[in-house]
Chains A and B, each alone.
Chain A
Amino acid sequence: MSTTARKAGFGSVLWDYLTTVDHKKIAILYLIGGFFFFILGGLEAMLIRIQLIVPDNDFLSAQFYNEVLTMHGTTMIFLAAMPLLFALMNIAVPLQIGARDVAFPFVNSLGFWLFFFGGVMLNVSWFVTGAPDAGWTSYAPLSIFSEGHGVDFYSIGLQIAGFGTLMAGINFIVTIVNMRAPGMTYMRMPLFTWTTLIASVLILFAFPALTVGLFQLTFDRLFGANFFNPELGGNAIIWEHLFWIFGHPEVYILILPAFGVFSEVIPTFAKKRLFGYSSMVFATVLIAFFGFMVWAHHMFTVGLGPIANSIFAVATMAIAVPTGIKIFNWLFTLWGGSIRLTSPMVFALGFIPTFTIGGMTGVMLASAAADYQYHDSYFVVAHFHYVIVGGTVLGIFAGLIYWWPKMFGTLLNEKLNHWFFWLFFIGFHLTFFFQHFLGLMGMPRRYWVFGEGQGLDTFNFISTIGAFLMAVGTIVFVYNMVMTQVKGKKVSGDPWDARTLEWAIPSPPPFYNFKQLPLVRGLDPLWIEKTEGNGKMQPAEPLGDIHMPNNSFVPFVMSLGLFIAGFGVMFQGSYWFLAAIGFGLFFGSMIYRSFKDDLGYHIHKEDLEDEKGDGSNG
């Protein structure tokens, strides 16, 4: 299937990707989509830093600065970090548990297209009435009184993307619960699979709160509801609660998979099994559990009262304990290992101190009394960039370089990767380390200028220089990705001499992944076979027909339907017909889908025997 499509022209490749339900191709789609928005969010960040390079700058207008700032945050969280993580989950998780695909291939594709159209919707706002300008948190009543349709694009665009995320989350939970290969018990699952499972559970329970919050915002702005309108009894604090009930688990959704990546990378390149595997699993579950009970630490200055603030402060500090367990486990894994300084490993080593600093400032922010000083200052900006860039983004890059061979069958240039790392890493610390001090000196976040003679000039200047270094690093990485694919030098199935199941099959894997499902004999199954067996996974079943799902164009049409409907709902009046068309497409696709049996097809045993992919390393 895939090989014939590749030889064919551009049109059929495009059609193949528009209709694909193969988790490996959806991973590539997520990678392309996520990286595009990452670059876009990065450009917005550069605009912010250029504006703040000197005091009283007029590079951007105040209104445009608000829009850029809002879109930077929204884009990076929802449209860059999450899809890039989904790219890694899609490529790695089914292979790590020895499955032929995810549980719901159709829903997987639907999840991607909903994210994609949601992201496009948000960015269309730049060209229609202006982008959202109420911050990525979009606090009411500011968001209610924001003029134009910017915030409507925010609420409807995120709503669409959010549906996609929710579906992707459910899909991964079911995949991991139901589709593990024989012998792959829960406590033999690789840590990345574990963190994906837990992050997906968080998605399942956190996103509905955002859904409701966004609906309320939409109804308030477009249909005259009064949820956040105090004149008619509304209460703006409800939005803050709903947003953070979603928002705090969201940051764990972002960081846990990154923890998972490092827990794969570090043992591989230290040539040791992960220290304290079960405590790692336990810590992950504990972080998720606590993650639901800490959201109000974003709201210490709202005035919830000393009792509520104390409870949330203590719960927040408690999260430092399982996180600390993880940090120590990684250090102990490194201890006495024979370390190879490959680029994913360098990212992992850079992550540990960076994230620890971010965690430390997190505990500082968690003390409610002190938070009155830090709140809404650059100290907070520095803190969350240390955990999100220093944690999630470094994790995404480590994972991307690590699993690149599985996605494309090629290996990124190591030398350029190291260049990328050092430029990005040094740039990152230059940018954000000094923002701690800016915050303590009293510089508030989200302001479009700072005054002269306030002693803020030097650190802001350094910060902007650092941002440029990060940008240069990213350009190096993009160049590396493009050149690697142009050269297209193929590598073996196991270029890193790794430990988990995904490395037991060729790179890139055949579209059915495993010809015969492997028999898992313990944690790090491939490593067990390498040390105790003949280096190959033993099959758990005889060679037989393989059932595969059919490609489908319906997910694309459904998502397009919601996209079109969004405009109708937003502009109303003579545009209502757009809503009719959009919802017609959406529900029509659903009916089409229920009326047409989708039984998939079978690859026959005889055809499988001819193909490679016999589970050997290469």
Chain B
Amino acid sequence: MADDMLKSENLPQNPERATLEGRNKFMGFWFFLGGETVLFASLFGTYLALKNSNAQGPSAEEIFGLELVFIMTIVLLTSSLTSVYAMYHMKNNDFKKMQLWIGITVLLGLIFLGFEIYEFYHYVHGYEFGYTTSAFSSAFYTLVGFHGAHVAFGLGWFLSLMIRNSKRGINLYNAPKFYIASLYWHFIDVVWVFIFTVVYLMGKVG
């Protein structure tokens, strides 16, 4: 039976939920995302409580530039679609195409992360807006940084899955792993939708 798990022929419909282990992972990960919702809500709540507490430091309106955020948003949204493509090919048992689309997703994630690092660098050196400048700066960096850390973790996750499984196809053992990694990636995107709306756009509107 253990051998069946690693075979990639004749995969059932929804291979990610075909075994008990798969269903457990699937459920457990969704529940984890429910918990993550509260985690980010606490960070958002803190940010909203402190967003005008910039003390003597720069305010949201002064530092945020929408062009960069717009590009980051498009990049991350697109990476969400590319990971949907990856799952589409997983369900069709097309391993090569799945790897390709995950690769594109990772690339887009890296671009996003690069922009974010550039953005933070720019704030710190261009505006003297450091982590310890004000309560607003601490809340901003913590919220956006938590999201960035999630992105970085997601990249590591995708990469290790790609490398580990590069020599074999999709099977009942790794299909749930790919699937929940893509769920995680979508969740990162969900959080970003609120970050660009609540932090950047609302910060600009005032």
Residues of A within 8 A of B (CB): 103-104, 107, 166, 170-171, 173-174, 177-179, 204-209, 211-213, 215-216, 219-220, 223-227, 229, 231-235, 238, 241-242, 245, 545, 547, 591, 594-595, 597, 599-602
A171 surroundings in chain B (CB, below 8 A)? 28
- Shortest Cβ distance from A200 into B: residue: B31
Contact A166 B132 (CB under 8 A): no
Q: How far is the CA of A205 from the CA of B35 in the complex (A)?
A: 5
CB neighbours (8 Å) of B132 from chain A are 223-226, 232
| A212 adjacent to B24 (CB under 8 Å) | no
Number of interface residues of B (CB under 8 A): 41
Q: Is B78 an interface residue (CB 8 A)?
A: no
B43 in contact with A174 (CB, 8 Å): no
Measured CB to CB, the nearest residue on chain B to A591 is B160
Interface membership of B190, Cβ < 8 A: no
Of the 9-residue stretches B81-89, B95-103, B133-141, which lies at the interface with chain A? B133-141
Which residues of B are found within 8 Å of A231, using beta-carbon distances? 55
**Overall SS of chain A's interface:** helix
Are A597 and B27 neighbours in the complex by a CB distance under 8 Å? no
With a CB–CB cut-off of 8 A, which chain B residues contact A174?
24, 27-28, 31
Interface string of B15-41 (1 = CB under 8 A from A): 000001001100110011011101100
Chain B's closest residue to A602 (CB) is: B1
Q: In the complex, which of the residues A204, A227, A602 contacts B31, with contact meaning CB atoms closer than 8 Å?
A: A204
Min Cβ gap B181→A in Å is 10
B24 touches A178 (CB 8 A): yes
B164 is contacted by which of A179, A212, A234, A594 (Cβ under 8 Å)?
Answer: A594
In the complex, what residue of chain A is closest to B174 when comparing beta carbons?
Answer: A597
Q: Is the interface of B mostly helix, strand, loop or mixed?
A: helix
The answer to whether residues A233 and B28 also contact, given A208-B39, A219-B142, A602-B2 and a CB cut-off of 8 A, is no
Give the docked Cα–Cα distance between A233 and B20 (Å): 51
Q: Does B201 contact A (CB under 8 A)?
A: no
B53 within 8 A of A: yes
Task: Decide: A204 and B173 in contact? CB cutoff 8 A.
Answer: no
Q: B45 CB to closest chain A CB, in angstroms?
A: 8
Task: Tell me whether A208 and B28 are in contact (CB under 8 A).
Answer: no
Partner of B138, one of A170, A177, A225: A225
A235 to chain B, nearest CB (A): 6
Closest B residue, CB atoms, query A597: B173
Asked whether B20 lies within 8 Å of A595 as measured between CB atoms, the reply is no
Interface assignment of B49: CB less than 8 Å from any CB of chain A: yes
Write the chain B residue with the least CB distance to A228.
Answer: B135
Max chain A Cβ within 10 angstroms of own Cβ: one of B31, B57, B177? B31
- Rounded to whole Å, the gap between the CB of A165 and the closest CB of chain B is 11
In the complex formed, the residue of B with least CB distance to A241 is B45
Provide the residues of chain B in CB contact with A219, threshold 8 Å: 138, 142
Chosen A-B contacts, 18 in total, with CB atoms closer than 8 Å, are A107-B28, A173-B28, A204-B32, A205-B35, A207-B35, A209-B38, A209-B39, A212-B46, A216-B46, A226-B132, A227-B135, A227-B139, A233-B54, A591-B160, A597-B173, A599-B2, A599-B173, A602-B1
